[in-house]
Amino acid sequence: MDTKTKMDRFFEPRSVAVIGASRHPKKIGHVIFRNFLEGKYNGRLFPINPNAETLFGIECHASVLDVKEAVDMAVITVPSEFVPETLEECGKKNVPAVIIISSGFREIGKIALENKLKAIAKKYGLRVIGTNCIGVYDPYSGVDTFFLPPYKLERPDKGSIAFISQSGALGSVVLDWMSMKDYTISKFISYGNATDVDESDLMEYLVTDDKTRVICAYFEGVNNGRKLFNIASRHSKTKPIIAIKGGVTSEGISAVSSHTGSLAGESDIYSAAFRQSGIIEAKTLEQVFDFARVLSTQPAPKGNKVQIITNGGGFGILTTDWIVKNQLKLARMTKKNRDVVRKACPSYASIKNPIDLTGDATVDRYAVAIQAALDDPNVDMIALITLFQIPTLTAEIVDVISEAARKSKKPIVVIAAGGRFTEVLKKSLEGNGVPCFSYPEKAAEALRALYEYGRAAGK
C-alpha cells in the first residue's frame, strides 16, 4: 500500500478501531467512540478494551489483533506507557493509519518513549498522526476523533478550507468558532508532536486533495523546513496556502519549547521562507480565515483598484482609509458608468469613490451600482457596504448580491456590521459564496491578500 493510500485511510476509513474505548463518560476513549457511533460516520466500528465484553451493544475485543476484519484506522487513547505495545499490535494487524491521541511523550521530556513509537511506525510502515493531539475531523466522511462533545465544541459543515494545527486545543477552539460563524471546512488535522506524520506530509497530501481549495496552517515549529517549503513552492500557485506562526517574539519562541517541544526558530526566517515559497502569512487567527474565505470563493483580481459602494457615509470613509492603508487603490470609474449610477440615484447621492447610495438606498439602486462597477474597465474589485438596518433596504439585496457575485469575474466582498438581523443576512450571503466582514479593516486586508496572491501566482 503506497503512502498516499495509507494517508487516505485517515479521512475515509472503511473501519475504525478505538483502542481504549470505555463505558466511563469521562474517559477520552468513551467520548471518541461515542462520537463515531452517534455521528455521521458510516463505516465499521471496533471498540478495543480488555476489560469489557461489549460497549454500547457492540462486541469488544481485548486487542486490535483479535478483530477478524481489516482495520483501516486505529485511534489510540490509552496511557502513554501502554502506547508502544498497542502500536506494535496495530503494526502486526496491518492497520495503515493510526492516530495517537495520548500525551506524555516529547512534550514532557520523554523523548526515548516517543522514539520507540517512531521506530515501530517505521518497522511496520504505519502512518501515525500524533502523539499528543486531537486527531482528525472530516465532515464528508464523519471521521471525528475530538474528545469533546458537540455541545461544547461544535463542528463546521462541509466546505473547501483545510486546516492543520500542531496545537489541538487551538485547532479545536477555532473549529468551534468557525462553526458558530457558519464557516465550512474540508478537513482538519491536529498533529501534535508530529511523531511520524508532520506538516510536510499533510501539506503534500492536501495539495492534491480535490475537496480542499485553500490550505490553512498553524505552525509552532517545523520538522523539516526545506521539505515543507519545497512542497509549498511547487503548489502554492495553484492552491493558496495560508499560515500563521506561533512564537514570533523571543518570549513566544521560548513558550513554544514548553508546549510541543518544537524548535520555533527565528520569525524573520519564517516570514522570508513563507514569502519565497508563496505561503500567505497571516498575523492573527481571524485573518487566517478571512483570507481563506476570500481565496476559496473569489477570483483573483486583474489589478489593485477597488470600487467602494455604500449606504453609510462613515463606513465608506473608514473603508477608504483601510483600502489605502493596505496599498490598494481607489478605482476611478468612467464617466459613462458613473452617469448610469447617477441616473438611478437622487441628487444627494455621491457618485464618486465611495459611491454613497445614502441612507435611503434601495435594492434597485444597489443593483445598478454593482452592475456599473462590474462593467467598468477601471474597477478590479468591489467592496460592498450594506448596512442592513436601513429601512429602504429589503432582504432581497441578498439575492441581488449573490447573483452578481455568481456571474462576476471580479472579486466582491461585503461589509456589514450589526446585530442578529444582520448576522442572518450575512450568513445567507456566506452560504452563497460571498465573503462578509463586520468591519472595513478586515475586508481591506483580505482583498490585499487576494490581490497579492493573484499577482504572485501570475493570475
Q: Which is nearer to a second copy, 189 or 207 (CB)?
A: 189
Cβ at position 415, least distance to a second copy in Å: 10
Cβ at position 69, least distance to a second copy in Å: 31
Cβ at position 261, least distance to a second copy in Å: 10
Is the distance from CB of 183 to CB of 161 less than 8 angstroms?
yes
Cβ at position 173, least distance to a second copy in Å: 5
Which residues are within 8 A (CB) of 155 and not within 5 positions of it... i.e. 6 or more apart? 137, 139, 144, 146, 175, 179
Cβ at position 187, least distance to a second copy in Å: 19
Q: Which is nearer to a second copy, 308 or 404 (CB)?
A: 308
- Other Cβ atoms less than 10 A from the Cβ of 27: the count is 16
Which residues are within 8 A (CB) of 299 and not within 5 positions of it... i.e. 6 or more apart? 408, 409, 410, 411
Q: Which is nearer to a second copy, 207 or 385 (CB)?
A: 385
Cβ at position 182, least distance to a second copy in Å: 11
Q: Which is nearer to a second copy, 354 or 411 (CB)?
A: 354
Q: Which is nearer to a second copy, 71 or 444 (CB)?
A: 444
Rounded to an integer, what distance in angstroms lies between the CA atom of residue 307 and that of residue 319? 10
Q: Which is nearer to a second copy, 187 or 259 (CB)?
A: 259
Cβ at position 26, least distance to a second copy in Å: 7
C-alpha cell at position 48: 478495543
∠ CA 270-265-258, nearest 5°, is 130
Cβ at position 449, least distance to a second copy in Å: 17
Q: Which is nearer to a second copy, 91 or 246 (CB)?
A: 246
Q: Which is nearer to a second copy, 124 or 322 (CB)?
A: 322
